[in-house]
Amino acid sequence: MTDVARRVRASCAVTLVLFALAACNSGEEKGPKQGELIVRGTVHMVTGADSSTCWKFTSTKGKDYELQPAQVPNDLLTDNASAKLIIKPLEGGGTFCKVGPVVTVDSVDSVSAGTAPAASGT
């Protein structure tokens, strides 16, 4: 094998490793069960079109998901909290706030404090 071929092969191997590492830290990956996603990101309290309080989770990849208070642990409903979650799209559930697909939170792996805890479950 020539020197050039070895360099190209090594370069390709390094590139593949870097892509694999980036994919693992992208903010979304397949969960342990079918249909689940593991996401990392931030919880945001937002105001809906009708002035109601809404909750969304923005993954580090930039995708927004709607959190409905009845479907998530109450300690997660803190504005600007960072979290790692296992989520699943809510089948047949309608979105109230239209901030992204509605998800149920199957598991909260970690939460770091945000700026303002939720005053109520709505």
Residue 2 lies in a domain: no
The Cα–Cα gap between 122 and 109 comes to 23
In which band, very low, low, confident or very high, does the pLDDT at 5 lie, cut at 50, 70 and 90? low
* Longest CA–CA separation in the chain, Å: 68
User: Over 70: is that where the pLDDT of 95 sits?
Assistant: yes
Residue 50 belongs to domain with CATH number? 2.40.50.140
Residue 100 lies in a domain: yes
Residue 79 lies in a domain: yes
The count of domains in the chain is 1
pTM above 0.75, yes or no: no
User: Over 60: is that where the pLDDT of 45 sits?
Assistant: yes
In which band, very low, low, confident or very high, does the pLDDT at 88 lie, cut at 50, 70 and 90? very high
Where in the sequence is the domain holding 76, given as residue range(s)? 28-117
The Cα–Cα gap between 24 and 43 comes to 21
The Cα–Cα gap between 5 and 47 comes to 57
The Cα–Cα gap between 6 and 67 comes to 50
Residue 12 lies in a domain: no
The structure tokens listed for 63 are: 């995708």
Residue 78 lies in a domain: yes
Residue 16 lies in a domain: no
Residue 65 lies in a domain: yes
Residue 10 lies in a domain: no
| Section 47-55 average pLDDT | 88
pLDDT digits (tens, 9 = 90+) for 56-66: 999 999 999 99
